[in-house]
Copies of this chain bind each other. A is one copy, B any other.
């Protein structure tokens, strides 16, 4: 994966201006982020200050540039941006996950599980329970738990320490980041003689094709029926999706958003970070909920919302501006009162 400076120069069709040919470069980064073993590039004069301050191990610069930060090797190229793109391709390919089928001897796969050992990968410490089914090309990460009678499609990728509870359904090409929980009990209790008595949560979660679920996100199973994450929807980290929620197709649900029970999102809804949606609410297709919006009743699709409770985003912006003008408004009212009392 790592390349020497001279290998890099050859790869990007450039020339070493400065730096030892054996310098090892292990990755890539922006000028202001790259470290001593990383490559960056100067593609535009407006980044010159970042260039002069960079700690990148090597920088691709336009031909003719010979000065630069002391600690960086320099490679000159005709088109630094294009040249950098070639290096990016190399490192992306080098870090691409390779699917190697096989069941690790320290994995624990119940003998009643249905899977083709020659076509799936089960990592060390993973637990695949009775009756579970795993499609070809799928990879179950280390210490991940696949519950009883869970069905998993093809070409899925589950990382470490994921928990999928019994009977949930996972489509094809689903990605679950570490620590994600699918199928925990919905939060439902009845009060009986002053105590909260658990209401059985006998439904499941259905995660459709091409969904991705972020790290430590939680998706509760339905009371009855199913909680649904629609095809192509992408959910970020630490999101809460409660029981019986129905999320449409191709939605984006950003980090730390909470979606209460029985909410329905139509297709292509965007919920930015830290949004909250109250129980049983419906959100129309292509609605955009800006960060921290609080949705308390049904809202139409195709619009952008803000505030709590949610209303038109631009109105919310104006409303905030008005709140900040309040001290002045109070002064103005005082002045009017004074004038009125003098009359």
Chain A residues in the interface with B (C-beta under 8 A): 27-30, 33-35, 38, 88, 91-92, 95-96, 104, 106, 108, 123-125, 127, 129, 141-143, 145, 147, 159-163, 165-167, 175, 177-179, 181, 184-185, 187, 189, 194-196, 198, 200, 202-204, 206, 210, 212, 214-216, 218, 220, 222, 224-226, 228, 232, 234, 236-238, 240, 242, 244, 246, 250, 252, 254-256, 258, 260, 273-274, 276, 278, 291-292, 294, 308-309, 311, 315, 318-320, 322-327, 329-330, 332-333, 336-337, 339-340, 343
Contact = CB atoms under 8 A, between A and B. Distances in A.
A179 B256 CA distance: 16
24 contacts: A33-B224, A33-B228, A92-B200, A95-B202, A104-B108, A125-B125, A127-B143, A163-B179, A163-B215, A175-B185, A175-B198, A177-B185, A194-B250, A240-B256, A240-B273, A255-B260, A258-B273, A273-B276, A278-B291, A322-B323, A322-B326, A329-B329, A336-B337, A339-B340
A159 B177 contact: no
A315 B27 CA distance: 45
Nearest 9 CB-CB pairings of A with B: A29-B225, A163-B178, A184-B215, A145-B160, A160-B163, A322-B326, A215-B218, A33-B225, A127-B142
